Amino acid sequence: MAGTTAEYIQHHLTNLTFGQLPDGSWGFAGSAEEAASMGFWSINVDSMGWAIGLGLVFAFLFRKAAKNATAGVPGGLQNGVEMLVEFIEETTNSIFQHKNDLIAPLALTIFVWVFLMNLMDLVPVDWIPKFAELIGIPYMKIVPTTDPNITMAMALTVFVLIIYYSIKCKGGIGFLKELCFHPFPPIMAPINFILEGVTLIAKPLSLGLRLFGNLYAGEMIFILIALMFGAGAVYFLFGGVLQWVWAVFHVLIITLQAFIFAVLTIVYLAQAHDVEEH
């Protein structure tokens, strides 16, 4: 693994990227600079792999809980799943006042999936990257939500749903009227369109960048704390205390960020269904 502090940090912040190499062939990037030069058609294999894998873990656990559900005293897994489902259902019902059977399952999926991806930030920063190097994999980032490609992909998916339901519930003309004739009088339609357009575009940006920024900062702090372990006994002990304190606090952060993403999704989709003003 990289020797200097700068190389250590850069190594831990570099994705395992697959794309077109400078010589025209396709393969894995050997450095952060090479990964950046691959352009749009590259893919961060580690982020995608961990995101899909954690999604499968989520599906497996919830399917197992549903399959083994009993009317008697529930087991630990069933009890946990039922609590999550009830919590998301109550949250959705308190915000979303329209009829759409997709919203609550979508919010549940987002909350649990984002939480599991965030949870990987609590794995010690050196464990999996070091193991990956032992088997010949140069880079391995295990927290998908520290990759803006992942967070923005999720946010843009929600954005597509916002546009779809806005047009479906309000009609194409109604949606355009909302963009052009609100909040100022119709004579100021160009200004309204700019303001409402910015507001609309800000929705996926707020979803994706908020999640990315918080988790990226959290990962960076863990990396900086890990540097203390090689600076002598006193710093090792101090770093251990800081690691524990930050990990405890970070449990709140990863849960809160998953909840915020889910709640904002519900709010934005509720606004897309709202037709009272038309």
Which positions are annotated as active-site residues?
Answer: 206, 210, 214
- Residue 106, exposed/middle/buried by CB under 10 A (0-12, 13-18, 19+)? buried
Rounded-to-5 percentages of helix, strand, coil across the chain: 75, 5, 20
How far apart CA 102 and CA 96 sit, in angstroms, is: 11
Q: Check residue 274 and report its DSSP letter.
A: -
203 touches 162 (CB < 8 A): yes
Residue 205 CA, distance from chain mean position? 12
Residue 278: CB atoms within 10 A of its CB come to 14
184 touches 192 (CB < 8 A): yes
Peptide bond into 183 cis (omega under 30): yes
65 touches 43 (CB < 8 A): no
Q: Is the dihedral of CA 129, 39, 199, 96 positive or negative?
A: negative
Residue whose tokens read 């540097």: 227
Report the alpha-carbon angle 180-202-276, nearest 5: 45
**Cα(first)–Cα(last) distance of the chain, in Å?**
60
